[in-house]
Structure 1
């Protein structure tokens, strides 16, 4: 498979060491050769002294990766963000922008396809969202959209192609949905401050919609043989592999047996991190031990990030973060964390995403931030 190294879209820069040898001049013109030799030795010594920290800097890296849950724009969400035919989601994302910007690279599940106004916007059960959600997520700090989910083909290939064209025009990285075979064959490997992160994305299904003939490449379904092939191929060039999984049962707060079995399968493949979507509610995270003794960090579901759902537990979600530490050839994932968010009605009934601690509206399920923390961390604490 060919590899595509995406440029970062939120100001993440490569670290580089630099050294400059300082020149010295000989004071005795009669000993010019000796002075030049001394200068060369001094310069070499200075270069070695200055290059050592640069080498250490390259070998010892730590980056923070972020991930948020489902962006599923129901009519009551996008209609209230429209003015004079233009859509602006900036006010809805303002309060959580620092949370999205803080990681070195942030991935979000774009569940409703942003096929644009020209196709006619629509909501449940067949979604099509405004282009503006892509622009405003990007401005808020999102670097990549995961597009493999059960709503990918809600509005057909026209919506998919429109969405991808817009991603490319704006420089938004994307994974899990593709415009052609060549696009599907490109590995998504992003360079995050000298850490090469490979990203994959799969969905359990497409709500019964058949993939159009000749477009089998458009979205990746969960297929163990294909996943194994993709992961093994990506391992050649990636320091860390992150897999997005659209799986599980909607509105269930614990993973089902299939999720657990697939998590073990991914751990046995030595995947580093699994980011789960689809249940629309938060599920626990845990470390799953692979058959090689490795540990895979699994976020079974990050819940809804931005949607119009208002049943129990669907208005709360989490922004996950984890550290990737690279020391030469040794790479490990550490510091799993989730910060909680809540979608709340705002002025003129606009839906706004806020840090849960700042939400001025009770959660639909009556849950508190502390209760959510205990729920999500229950298996992590058991393992400590």
Structure 2
């Protein structure tokens, strides 16, 4: 037996590295969630005639997640398998891709030879300068995502070439992006559009920062430096008869702080006044509250200040706990309006079989995450898996 001091050290190391976490998924997912009974959720989502949007926070693929994907026969797809059935229920699902997914681009933004592996620590790497193997993009598409936000403080981690090749990978997967643009189209739109239910929904993303990385070609839309342009674009999109609604996706706020700052509140409200139907923020890596807001012209919307980490290998409770935010867009005065949102708590867990993000109620120790989400976002809009199945009127089955 090891001496006691070693056992104390080992316990601390396990907590820091998430090595002492549940080792089996055997008790985690049920195969199907039944649709019997009446939904108990107090928020209306998935309503007939509405466009239902699902939004998540940061897709932040630290070294552990890239290494895990390398070992999985399905690659990155295995990490999203348990949430995919719920993302696919929405008409449109969006995520923040936190970093480049640039094929064969090394440190400093230089083109390099193909390393022939998903993770090598140089071409494809983790913090502080991320780059993910582009196979992540089709995995996100396969999980149900319809648009990716590329405006964030890691957008320039592989320089101008990294932006170009990330956007190429997203386009190759058939997805639109918002918040960055390629050098080949310097005057192109910053927004992306997704069509659903006969409506065209525009998404506009920006970032507060590029972590000091050079952006010589202005490929990244900045939330505060370019604020006048951001608000003008929201107004123009809102006035465009071909666009039914505008969703604003700012990357902002202070990391690991659960309260929005004054700049977030000011810009979020200004975006709604300019014509956005909803504001969904990212960057703090923890959840921040949702604020309902009525504009001066009588439109109801909301600001979700931060959806935290959708997936990462940050293991504190508030960093591994997040939610899929669902909301309906319905016809209203001046275009479609966002109904109050509802949320399905999620949790990231490292099992012996790999790392997954899954509905919290399916996860080992998931009740901790459910309680955390309820504390930050409230219980009024909380969805259980049974609520979703009942709202859908059918059983929802997870992937094995």
What corresponds to 1:347 in structure 2? 352
**Cα 1:225–1:283 shift into 2, 3 Å:** same
SS in structure 2 of the partner of residue 157 of structure 1: helix
- 2:276 paired residue among 261, 271, 286: 271
For the pair 1:154 / 2:142, whether they are aligned, the reply is: no
Cα distance in 1 for residues equivalent to 2:79 and 2:191: 33
Cα distance in 1 for residues equivalent to 2:93 and 2:64: 26
Q: Is the 8 A contact 1:267 1:291 kept in 2?
A: no
- Aligned counterparts, 1:43-122, within 5 A: 61-83=49-71, 88-117=75-104, 119=106, 120-122=123-125
What corresponds to 1:259 in structure 2? 264
What number of residue pairs does the alignment pair up? 314
What corresponds to 2:371 in structure 1? 370
SS in structure 1 of the partner of residue 100 of structure 2: coil
What corresponds to 1:35 in structure 2? none
What corresponds to 1:141 in structure 2? 144
SS in structure 1 of the partner of residue 213 of structure 2: coil
SS in structure 1 of the partner of residue 82 of structure 2: helix
For the pair 1:170 / 2:158, whether they are aligned, the reply is: no
Cα distance in 2 for residues equivalent to 1:124 and 1:353: 20
- Aligned counterparts, 1:124-135, within 5 A: 124-135=127-138
**Cα 1:371–1:111 shift into 2, 3 Å:** closer
Cα distance in 2 for residues equivalent to 1:165 and 1:380: 37
For the pair 1:190 / 2:177, whether they are aligned, the reply is: no
Choose 181-190 or 234-243, whichever is displaced more: 181-190
- 1:322 paired residue among 291, 309, 327: 327
Q: Is the 8 A contact 1:250 1:279 kept in 2?
A: yes
SS in structure 2 of the partner of residue 341 of structure 1: strand
Cα distance in 2 for residues equivalent to 1:158 and 1:183: 17
What corresponds to 1:247 in structure 2? 252
Cα distance in 2 for residues equivalent to 1:186 and 1:356: 34
Name the one with the larger helix percent.
Answer: 1
What corresponds to 2:387 in structure 1? none
Q: Is the 8 A contact 2:321 2:345 kept in 1?
A: yes
Q: Which has the higher contact order (CA 8 A, sep 6+)?
A: 2
How far apart are residue 267 of structure 1 and its match?
2.2
Q: Is the 8 A contact 2:154 2:211 kept in 1?
A: yes
**Cα 1:156–1:179 shift into 2, 3 Å:** same
TM-score w.r.t. the length of structure 1 is 0.76
TM-score w.r.t. the length of structure 2 is 0.73
What corresponds to 1:292 in structure 2? 297
SS in structure 1 of the partner of residue 49 of structure 2: strand
Cα distance in 1 for residues equivalent to 2:139 and 2:200: 26
Cα distance in 2 for residues equivalent to 1:115 and 1:87: 20
Cα distance in 2 for residues equivalent to 1:177 and 1:263: 20
- The one-character-per-residue Cα deviations of 1:218-260 (angstroms, maximum 9, x if unpaired) are 1100122111211122121321110101001101111111111
Cα distance in 1 for residues equivalent to 2:186 and 2:135: 27
How far apart are residue 309 of structure 1 and its match?
1.1
Unaligned runs of 5+ in 2: 1-47, 107-122, 383-400
- 1:228 paired residue among 227, 231, 236: 231
How far apart are residue 329 of structure 1 and its match?
6.5
- 2:209 paired residue among 193, 205, 209: 205
